[in-house]
Amino acid sequence: MEIIGVWETFRDDPEAWVAIITGEGDRAFCAGADLKTYTPVLGERDIYDLRQDADRPGFGGITRGLNIWKPIIAAVNGYALAGGLELALACDIRVASENAVFGCSEVQRGFHHCDGGTVRLPLIVGLGNALRMQLTGEHIGAAEAHRIGLVSEVVPMEQLMPAAERYAGAICANGPLGVRSAKESMIRSLGRALEDALRFENVLFATLTRTEDFCRRSSSVYGKTSSGLEGPVAIPVNDRSGSRTLSQRKLIFNLEV
C-alpha cells in the first residue's frame, strides 16, 4: 500500500514531529472499502489466508503492524465510516468538521471491524457507547461524537485545518522526545498489569532524563538558556504524497488521502 510508505517516511524523518491526516475535499475523510464489492471477495478468500491478515499492515497503514510514537492528528472532514473510522481511531487526536459522520456499517453485511474498530473504539468512548455504535451500525454526527469523546473538538469546515494545526503547534512547542515517550507509555501500557505498566513508565522517564533535549529544555525552564528551542511552527501543505514544509526545527507532516 502506497500510504504505508508515506507513514514510514514520517516515522523515520527526524525533523517531522507531528502528522495531520485529512480527506480530499469536504465530503469525506475516508469511507472505507466499498462493501458491495468488498464483501463478496471476503467470502471467496481462503480462511487461512484471511487469518494471516493479522500479521499484515492494516487499512491506512497505521491501524495495525506499524508503531509510530510521533503524534498523529485526524482532521475529519465528512464521512468516517467502516475502515475510515478505524483510520481515525488509530490517530491520537481527532478534530471534526460540523458535517462529519461516524459509523460502523460492517454489521449490516454480516461481519465487523478487523483493523482496530472493536478494540480501539471502547477504549476511546467507553464500552457502552462502543457497543451501541458497533451493534446497531447506526451513524452518529459530529455533535454526538464530541459528546461521547470520539473527537476533541467540532468546528466549521473552513476552520478544520486551522484547528488541527493549532493542536499540532501546541505539540511542537514541547520536547519531541518527551511527547513521543508519553504516547508510547500510554499505548504500550494498555493491557499490562498495573505494576508492570508503572515500571515501564518509569523506565521511559528515566531514559528521557539522559537525553540532550531534556538537558537543554530543563536549562531553558530555569532561565539558563533558550537557544535552539524557539521558532515558528511549519505551515502544512496539502499534498497527497505527504509533502511538507519545514520552518527551523519544528515540522508538521500533512497527509491528504
> Edge to edge, what strands does the sheet with 140-141 contain?
28-30, 79-81, 101-103, 140-141
User: What does 202-243 look like in DSSP terms, one character per residue?
Assistant: HHHHHHHTTSHHHHHHHHHHTTS--TTS--PPPPP---TT--
Which one from 8, 98, 106, 158 is the annotated catalytic residue?
Answer: 106
- Is residue 119 within 8 Å of residue 49, measured between CB atoms? no
Q: Which amino acid is it at 108?
A: Q
Which one from 8, 24, 44, 86 is the annotated catalytic residue?
Answer: 86
Q: Residue 257 CB: number of other CB atoms within 10 A?
A: 17
Q: Which residues pair with 101 in a beta bridge?
A: 79, 141
Q: For cell 537543554, name the residue.
A: 216
Told to judge if 86 belongs to the known catalytic residues of this protein, a careful annotator would answer yes
> Edge to edge, what strands does the sheet with 93-97 contain?
153-155, 93-97, 72-76, 18-22, 250-256, 244-247
Instruction: Name residues whose C-beta falls within 8 Å of residue 164's C-beta, 6 or more positions apart in sequence.
Output: 20, 22, 73, 75, 95
> Residues with catalytic annotation?
86, 106
